[in-house]
Chains A and B, each alone.
Chain A
C-alpha cells in the first residue's frame, strides 16, 4: 500500500487579510509598465518599494516577534509570494525569507539576536547554495578549512540571487566532511567576487560569487548539528516559494491569454470561440488550480519545526506541479498571440522567460518526482 495521503487544507481570516493586502499592494505598485522599467535597472527593483515592504512587516513576516518580526509561520508568506508572481514583482524578498529561515532553524541565539532584527528592518541578505548546475548533488564542493583558529572558505557559488545588493550571505559549504552553513558579510568578500549572470528571466538578479580566501570567525558557523537538516529544509521551502510565485505567474499568463482570446478577431470571429485555442486555455486554468491547491496545502502544514515526510511531499508536489504549469501557460501565451506573441513588446515573453527560470530553481519537476517516488511507491 502507498502512504496515507495528507489532504489538510485550511486558511485563517488573518491569512486571508494578508493575501488581500498583498494582492492590492502588488497590483498597485507593480504594473507591467513598471516591471519593464525595473528590468533595465542594475538591481532590478525599486528601493522605495522595499522600504514600503519593511513598513508592511513583510520582511519580518515569518520572524518571531522577539526578534523584531511579525511572528507568522512560513505558510503565511506563501500568499505574498503568489501575488508577487502574479504581478511579476521581483525583489530580494525570496532571498531574505530563506536567510531568515536558515537562521531561525539552525542559528545560535547570538546569531538570531544579531541578524533577524536587521532582516525585519530591511537589511538585504541572500543564500548561496549551488556549486554548479546540479540541484540534485548534495555533495558540496565549496569547502571550509580551519587555519589559525579561523575558518577559510574555498570555492564559488552559482545563482546567488540578489548578491549585488546583499549585506551578508549564508553559504553552504563542506566543513569537517559534513555540510555546514556559514555567515559571510559583504566586506569580507574580495572586490571582484561577484559576477552578474545574464538570466533568462530579466526581472531576476543572480550572481556567481567567489568565496575563495574569505576568512571568518568560527562563531559565524550555524549550529553544525542542525545544518544538514536545515539545508534540506531550505531547499524544500525554497521550492515551495518558487512554486507559489510560479502559480501567480501562471494565473497572470492565463489572464493575458484570456484577454486576447476575448478581443482578437480573425475570419470575423473572436479567436476565443475556436476550440483549438479554448480547450488548451481551459487546461491552463485546470493546471493552475491544481498548482494553487498544492501550494496552499503545503502552506497549511508547514510550521517552524523541521519538515516531516508529509511536508516534504507537499513541497515537492507543489514545485513539480506549479513550474510545469507555468511552462505550459507561458508557452501557450506566446503561441496564442500569433505574430504579436513573438515580439518582445508582448507581455507573453515575460511569462515564458519566468517559466524557464522557475522550473530550474530548487530542482526541476523531474528532480522532485524522482524524490517523491520512494516516499510514495516503496
Chain B
C-alpha cells in the first residue's frame, strides 16, 4: 500500500474513534438537521460548543493555512473528516456561511488583513456569519438587488432589506450585496460586496416562521446603518463577480470549504428502517410490489449520486461535458432529498397525517418536518429552476432564457 494511502487510513480511523468517543448523547431537545433550522438559543449554544470541540480536535478547517487557524493539509483529509462526521451522525457544523462560503471566499480573494481578522474566528465559532443576498422583491433575480450603499466620508450608509437571512439574529458579520450605483447600463455593474458588521445601529433582524412552524431565517432591515469603507471587498462595482464566486462555494461547484458537513444525512436506509413495521392492506408494506419498485428507483437514484461523485474525479469518463456533474450537483441532490422525504410520508398510511408534537407521529414527525425543510435547499442558493437554466446554458451551451 502506498505511504499516502496508509496515512489516510490512519487518519480515518483516528477521526472515527474520536467521533465515537465524543458524539454528544441525548440533548433533551430536538437538534436541527440542517444549518437553516437553528431556531432557538439553546440549539445555538449547543452547536457552537460542539463546533469548537471539533475544531480543537483538528477536524475542520484542515485545508486552511496554519497561520489562519487551519492545518494546511490536502483536501482529501477534510473529505475524510466530513465523511466520518456524517457516518457517525454527529451534530452538524453550524457556522456554514463562514465555514463554507465567506471563509473560502476570503481565503481566495481577501487581503491578508481580512484573512487575519476573520478566518480563525469562523473556525472556532466565535464569529457567526450570515449572508445578505436575496431581497423580498429579488430572489432568483439577484442581479437586480436594490439595497443601497451610499458612500459618505469613511463610511457607507446602508438602506433596504434582505430576506432569508440564516442566523440573521445571531450573526457578527454578513456578506452583503448592495447597490453602490443605480445608474449603470448593466444592473450587475452597480453592485458591490461587503464584509459587513451586524452590530451597528440601524440593523434589525426579524425571525421568519417557516412552513414547518419553526424559525431559522430572518428578514433583515437596514435603516441608515453606517459601516466603515474598509468593509468593501474588492472594488466598487465588482460585487456581482464576488457574489458569483461565493455561490460557487455555496453550491459546492468549487472546493475550499472548512467543512461541508452542514446537514445530517437522511438516507434510504433511514427510510427503510422507518417503514419496517408499517402495514398496507393488512400486509407488511415492504411486500407491496409497487412500493418495492418505487423504493428500488429511489435506491438507484441514491447510488447514482454517489457513483457520479466518484466518476467526476476521473477526467476520461467526463469528457463530453466536464462540468455536468459539479454544476448539476445541487439540483440532483436537493430534488432527490425532497422527493424521497415526501414519499416517506406517503408510505406512513394514516400516520402520514400526523405532525411534530403528536405522540403517535412516526419518529416524532421527523419525515414531515424533514420534507418541509427540504425546500430550503431546492429554493435557497438558486432555485432548482434557476439551476436547470445554469446547466442548460453553461454545460450544454443553450441560448439564455
Contacts and interface: CB of A to CB of B under 8 A. Distances in A.
A297 interface: yes
Contacts of A10: 314
Nearest to A258: B396
B75 interface: no
A292 B272 contact: no
A2 B273 CA distance: 9
Given A1-B273, A377-B272, A9 B385 contact: no
B397 interface: yes
Interface in A1-37: 1-2, 5, 7-11, 15-16, 19-20
Contacts of B331: 286
A321 B293 contact: no
B397 A262 contact: yes
A5 B385 contact: no
Contact of B388 (A270, A282, A290, A294): A282
B57 interface: no
A272 B292 contact: no
A285 B324 contact: yes
Contact of B401 (A8, A258, A273, A377): A273
Contacts of A232: none
A296 B316 CA distance: 11
Main secondary structure of the interface of A (DSSP, over half): helix
Given A2-B268, A278-B389, A285 B321 contact: yes
A369 B301 CA distance: 12
B1 interface: no
Given A9-B314, A372-B296, A377-B286, A262 B398 contact: yes
A279 B292 contact: no
Interface string A253-288: 000001001100000011011110011011101100
Interface stretch (B112-120, B143-151, B250-258, B304-312): B304-312
B304 A290 contact: yes
Interface of A: 1-2, 5, 7-11, 15-16, 19-20, 251, 258, 261-262, 269-270, 272-275, 278-279, 281-283, 285-286, 289-290, 292-294, 296-297, 317, 320-321, 366, 369-370, 372-373, 376-378
19 contacts: A2-B272, A7-B303, A16-B316, A270-B399, A275-B385, A279-B385, A285-B391, A285-B396, A286-B328, A286-B332, A289-B308, A289-B328, A290-B301, A293-B307, A293-B310, A294-B304, A366-B293, A372-B299, A377-B296
